[in-house]
Structure 1
Amino acid sequence: MRNWSIAGTLIVQPVSQRSDLLAEPVAKAITSLDESEVGVVEIDPELADTAAFCEAYSSPLSASANCVVVAGKRSGEVRFAAALILATTRADVNGVIKRRLDVRKASFAPMDEAVELTGMAYGGITPVGLPGEWPILIDKAVADSPELIIGSGIRGGKLLITGAALASLPGAEVIEGLAKPVE
């Protein structure tokens, strides 16, 4: 098993041994990934939000990536996408993402709708296991990262994964400039 330098105080386990730390759609989809490029950790669900997680477990904020569900309408049709960006940045929702979805206006999907459509918990949504028709937009900085921490589909777990593994997901598109630095 890989030695994850970003794990902080957490104990990384193989995903095949801890499917209880994964939402059902994540557990189904993760089997397509090389197990050497992904691990899972158990966390306190109250500490799932990125800043609290990093502080509590001594994990670098610069290695955390957040997945947001974005929606936009075109001719009455709602189009969804997931965007994966570093936690130190913000998604360019009404620039890059809006153009990629080919919609007039894009915004974060409402929490209850995102949870229902993904089968994942709010605060744990991850690009692994999303609906197959959704594009997964990955900022180039995420794809280039050797190690990242992302959601596992539930608030009580996190995935440790390589940027290359994320870029290899079905429907993944690596996009330069998908995110902007937080000012």
Structure 2
Amino acid sequence: MRAPLGNFTDVRTAPEALDVLVEPVARAVRHWAGPVPAEEVYWVDSDPEVADTAAFVAHYGRELLEASANCVIVTGRRGEARRHAACLVLSHTRVDVNGVVRKQLDARKASFAATDFATGESGMEYGGITPVGLPDDWPLLIDAAVTDLPYVLVGSGRRRGKLLVPGKAFAQLPGAVVVEGLGVAVD
């Protein structure tokens, strides 16, 4: 099987890769619903030592940078109340935490969530967090530019492997909110 993006040697549809996905991601694939079928989502094997975006594209090809996205977990605070959200932006941008995210969460302050919290609550590995399979009560803020791409390379829940997901499929995930300007240019 050939991946719709990149030149990977081990490619499977997500339903064929349940054995290599962390439980929250595998569960999401098993219960996938929406106009884009789960068979259009792919898992590709990749070296966990080059999971971070810069190392990944240096190893697998610079052309993947424009089609890669990062998922980060943020925490918004207003008084004692805390709200968490996942943010998905293209890898060559950064999340506008103190502007767009803070407003979306109706928070006075917003920041990246602590690593232990993000991995513990998501059931995923640091460096592999993906929007597929996150807790249903977290909003998933998606930069509109992500949904415009035919396929987007994101984490798989582990540092080993990535998911190739049709951009428009992210909008069908639980809690998804497509937001203009969530990802801003890196200076």
Which TM-score tier does this pair reach, normalised by the shorter chain?
over 0.9
**Does the CA contact (< 8 Å) of 2:13 and 2:40 recur in 1?**
no
1:16 Cα offset (Å): 1.8
Quote the Cα distance in structure 2 between the aligned partners of 1:9 and 1:152.
Answer: 15
1:43 to 39, 42, 46: 46
Q: Which stretch shows the higher mean deviation, 66-75 or 5-14?
A: 5-14
Matched, 1:52 2:55: yes
Q: In the TM superposition, what is the alpha-carbon distance from 1:68 to its structure 2 partner?
A: 0.4
Q: Distance in 1 between matches of 2:131 and 2:26?
A: 12
Q: Which stretches of structure 1, 4 residues or more, deviate above 6 A after TM superposition?
A: none
Q: 2:141 aligns with which of 134, 137, 141?
A: 137
Aligned residues: 182
Answer yes or no: is 1:123 the counterpart of 2:127: yes
Could you tell me whether the CA contact under 8 Å between 2:43 and 2:161 is conserved in 1?
A: yes
Tell me the C-alpha RMSD between the 2 structures: 1.4
Percent identical residues: 52
Does the 8 Å CA contact 1:138/1:172 hold for their aligned counterparts?
A: yes
CA distance in 1, matches of 2:159, 2:120: 15
3-state SS in 2 of match to 1:142: helix
2:178 partner letter: V
* Unaligned segments of structure 2, at least 5 residues: none
Give the aligned residue type for 2:56.
F
Which SS does the other structure have where 2:11 is aligned? coil
Residues 110-152 of structure 1, C-alpha deviation per residue, up to 9 Å, x if partnerless?
1111110100000000111111110000000001111110001
Q: Give me the TM-score of the superposition, normalised by structure 2.
A: 0.92
**What residue number does 1:110 align with?**
114
Q: Secondary structure at the match of 1:150?
A: strand
In the TM superposition, what is the alpha-carbon distance from 1:6 to its structure 2 partner? 2.0
The range that moved more, 30-39 or 132-141, is 30-39
Q: TM-score, normalised to structure 1's length?
A: 0.94
CA contact (8 A) 2:86 2:138 kept: yes
Query: Secondary structure, in 3 states, of the residue corresponding to 1:60?
Result: helix
Q: Is the 8 A contact 1:137 1:173 kept in 2?
A: yes
Task: Compute the displacement of 1:9 (Å).
Answer: 3.6
How many Å apart are 1:14 and its aligned residue?
A: 1.3
Deviations 1:65-103 (A, max 9, x none): 000000011231210000000001011000000000011
The residue aligned with 1:69 is 73
Shift in alpha-carbon separation, 1:121–1:38, aligned structure 2, 3 A: same
Q: Is the 8 A contact 1:73 1:79 kept in 2?
A: yes
Alpha-carbon offset, residue 38 of structure 1: 0.4
| Distance of 1:77 and 1:37 partners within structure 2 | 39
Aligned residue for 2:180?
A: 176
Amino acid at match of 1:162: P
Q: 2: distance between equivalents of 1:52 and 1:79? A: 32
Give the direction of change, closer, same or farther, for the CA distance of 1:10–1:173 in structure 2 (3 Å limit).
Answer: farther
User: Any idea what SS the aligned residue of 1:83 has?
Assistant: strand
